[in-house]
Amino acid sequence: MSFLEYAPAPESTAILHLRDEYGLFIDGAWTEGRGATFPTISPATEKRIATISSADATDVDRAVAAARRAYEKTWSRMPGGDRGKYLFRIARLLQERAREFAVAESLDNGKPIKESRDVDIPLVAAWFFYYAGWADKLDYAGLGAAPRALGVAAQVIPWNFPLLMLAWKIAPALAAGNTVVLKPAETTPLTALLFAEVVQQADLPPGVVNILTGAGDTGQALVEHPGVDKVAFTGSTAVGRQIARAVAGTGKKVTLELGGKAANIVFDDAPIDEAVEGIVDGIFFNQGHVCCAGSRLLVQENVHDEVVERLKTRMATLRLGDPLDKNTDIGAINSAEQLERIRALSAAGEEEGAERWSAPCVIPDTGFWFAPTIFDNVSTSSRIAREEIFGPVLSILTFRTPGEAIAKANNTPYGLSAGIWSDKGAKILAVADRLRAGVVWANAFNRFDPASPFGGYKESGYGREGGRHGLGAYLTTGPSKGGA
């Protein structure tokens, strides 16, 4: 205990008025799912928060039918300006209920309240505001003459940014005139269910947004449903592959946002303290449960020792613990399964000879936790240099020349994001140009903006979300397919 220890500063949960049990949200109403119920827990305490329904194939059928009716009868016929008004209303309601959503997200997911409060929820509102503005301007988006909606979108999202991934999916789909059926991840359904309340508050026509909770089989039934025109998936490369196979030849439009193994490249002319902040932000933000995390640090050999030393000093100040404490930097790992995966890959790193160092921190007795960890002297062939760990674990490699940095950065089956730290603008641009990554940050990391497209190359998936490009994924200029 140091002299200047922080006092606990827990955010109150009094603002939350959760139900004990949640059903499915279909056609504007709550209904019980026909599958077995399951609990959603707080990964910090392992305590049950609420009991959740799961949707079986009949429920999926009802939800897709409701979305189809809403698409044909109301949503696709409504002038874009009116759809925009609904989206603006949703955005404002989310802002009004921001604190409640932040608390629910941290409780269900385990992420620090300062992140859900200052990053997730503000970005969620920003995404709805941004796409609300596009709803009446689709003809001017440069996506072809008279673009039209696709129809019913099946959307499946992961647990790492539950409400933000919902916003990335639902906002552009609705702006473009599609209706949606969305399945949140099994471990983090809570904010999607609260979002269904916002949909009711906003008085959206029934069936425009349907929320189906459940596990992987619910997701599978949804994406494989013949009544669906568009599939949007964010999650692992393994499941993405399965989905790509399942929809091949069906005529469904698909976007896949999958995993990553981003290089964060630090040149010797970079401002070291800023770079260290960027490294910390790159890999320890959201416990490293970030598809675009800077999980491979490529540091120029002559500054390696200095960077690693300052990084360790900085990591020793990170506070791990109660996600609802306003001083917490590192929250809980989202599930026991994910913790097991992080442990197994870290053990493999040690076996392969990398040097492991973890920040000294007290691990709470209950819940799922992993101390921020770095592996030094990692070889390019090591599993921890190639596989996505999806946790607070950084692999450190070195390079001598920009060419070597680029070759190592691109030496991965993924291609989602990258970071470059240098004092020289020309060098940054030259290197960025040769990186096979959908997003490249310069002297920054993990920055998101609704106007900026996001997505990957290679095994990181295809299609873009965000910006004008994200709109394109929900529109067509081809011949209309019956109905509206």
Cβ 416 vs Cβ 456: under 8 Å: yes
Smallest separation (angstroms) from ligand NAP to the CB of 13: 24
Among 74, 160, 210, 213, the residue binding ligand NAP under the rule CB under 6 A is 160
Among 124, 239, 354, 437, the residue binding ligand NAP under the rule CB under 6 A is 239
Residue number, 129 or 390, with CB nearest to ligand NAP = 390
Angle at the Cα of 457 (from 135 to 471), degrees rounded to 5? Answer: 5
Query: Which among Mg ion, ligand NAP, none contacts residue 59 (Cβ within 5 to 8 A by kind)?
Result: none
Q: Could you tell me the strand order of the sheet in which 393-399 lies?
A: 355-358, 373-376, 393-399, 296-300, 263-266, 417-421, 439-442
Cα–Cα distances in angstroms (integers) from residue 203 to residues 85, 93, 209, in the given order? 11, 11, 11
d(CA 273, CA 73): 57
* Per-residue mark of binding to ligand NAP, 444-463 (x: CB under 6 A): -----------------x--
Site for Mg ion in 103-122 (CB under 5 A): 108
d(CA 330, CA 321): 7
Q: Is 89 helix (H, G, I), strand (E, B) or coil?
A: helix
Residue 223 found at the interface with ligand NAP (CB under 6 A): yes
Site for ligand NAP in 302-361 (CB under 6 A): none
Query: Given the rule CB under 6 A, which of 28-36, 44-52, 232-240, 265-273 is the region that contacts ligand NAP?
Result: 232-240
Residue 438 found at the interface with ligand NAP (CB under 6 A): no
Residue 40 found at the interface with ligand NAP (CB under 6 A): no
Nearest CA to 128 among 470, 475, 472? 470
Cβ 416 vs Cβ 437: under 8 Å: yes
Tokens 């359904």 identify what position?
189
Among 54, 106, 187, 398, the residue binding Mg ion under the rule CB under 5 A is 187
Residue number, 323 or 456, with CB nearest to ligand NAP = 456
In sequence order, the 6+-apart residues with CB closer than 8 A to the CB of 313 are: none
Asked about 291 being catalytic, the answer comes back as yes
Q: Is 238 helix (H, G, I), strand (E, B) or coil?
A: helix
- Burial class of 275 by CB neighbour count within 10 A (0 to 12, 13 to 18, 19+): buried
Cβ 266 vs Cβ 141: under 8 Å: no
381 CB-side CA count, 13 A: 2
Among 35, 43, 259, 282, the residue binding ligand NAP under the rule CB under 6 A is 259
Query: Given the rule CB under 6 A, which of 4-12, 252-260, 314-322, 363-371 is the region that contacts ligand NAP?
Result: 252-260
Residue number, 183 or 296, with CB nearest to Mg ion = 183
Query: Which among ligand NAP, Mg ion, none contacts residue 390 (Cβ within 5 to 8 A by kind)?
Result: ligand NAP
Cα–Cα distances in angstroms (integers) from residue 466 to residues 31, 40, 85, 124, 343, in the given order? 32, 29, 20, 12, 33
Residue number, 286 or 422, with CB nearest to ligand NAP = 286
Smallest separation (angstroms) from ligand NAP to the CB of 79: 32
Smallest separation (angstroms) from Mg ion to the CB of 322: 15
Q: Is 21 helix (H, G, I), strand (E, B) or coil?
A: strand
d(CA 180, CA 174): 8
Asked about 361 being catalytic, the answer comes back as no
Site for ligand NAP in 169-198 (CB under 6 A): 183, 185-186
Residue number, 177 or 438, with CB nearest to ligand NAP = 438
d(CA 111, CA 103): 10
Smallest separation (angstroms) from ligand NAP to the CB of 1: 36
Residue number, 257 or 329, with CB nearest to ligand NAP = 257
Query: Which among ligand NAP, Mg ion, none contacts residue 40 (Cβ within 5 to 8 A by kind)?
Result: Mg ion
d(CA 237, CA 348): 21
Residue 236 found at the interface with ligand NAP (CB under 6 A): yes
d(CA 329, CA 320): 6
Residue number, 151 or 162, with CB nearest to Mg ion = 162
Residue 388 found at the interface with ligand NAP (CB under 6 A): yes
Bridge partners (DSSP) of residue 398 are 299
The helix (run of H) or strand (run of E) holding residue 307 is: helix 304-315
Among 80, 133, 205, 216, the residue binding ligand NAP under the rule CB under 6 A is 216
Residues that bind ligand NAP (CB under 6 A): 156-160, 183, 185-186, 215-216, 219-220, 223, 234-236, 239, 242-243, 257-260, 291, 388, 390, 416, 461
Residues that bind Mg ion (CB under 5 A): 40, 108, 187
Q: Could you list the active site residues?
A: 257, 291
